Amino acid sequence: MKTFIQFSIFMLIAGLAIVLAIILGDRGAWYFAWLVGTVMIVLIAAVGGALLDAQDERAAALALERKDGKH
């Protein structure tokens, strides 16, 4: 039941997004671009932060491997 409710909510959101995209795409292409662009900018910036963590962890792991190899 919980899955069904979640599924329904997400389908509703998807439906609304499609209607919004059609209306904005037709009458307000730049508004639509702002909506999509802002989401993209926010998410790419967020991914950049997570990527820095991954880079640090990878570098630390590599350094540890080299250290272990030396010993």
- In whole angstroms, what is the distance from residue 27 CA to residue 23 CA? 6
For another protein, give the closer residue by CB, 5 or 50: 50
Footprint of another protein on 5-64 (CB under 8 A):
27-31, 33-34, 37-38, 40-53, 55-57, 59-60, 62-64
Q: 3-state SS of 27-68?
A: HCHHHHHHHHHHHHHHHHHHHHHHHHHHHHHHHHHHHHHHHH
Question: Would you tell me which residues interact with another protein (CB under 8 A)?
Answer: 27-31, 33-34, 37-38, 40-53, 55-57, 59-60, 62-64, 66-67, 70
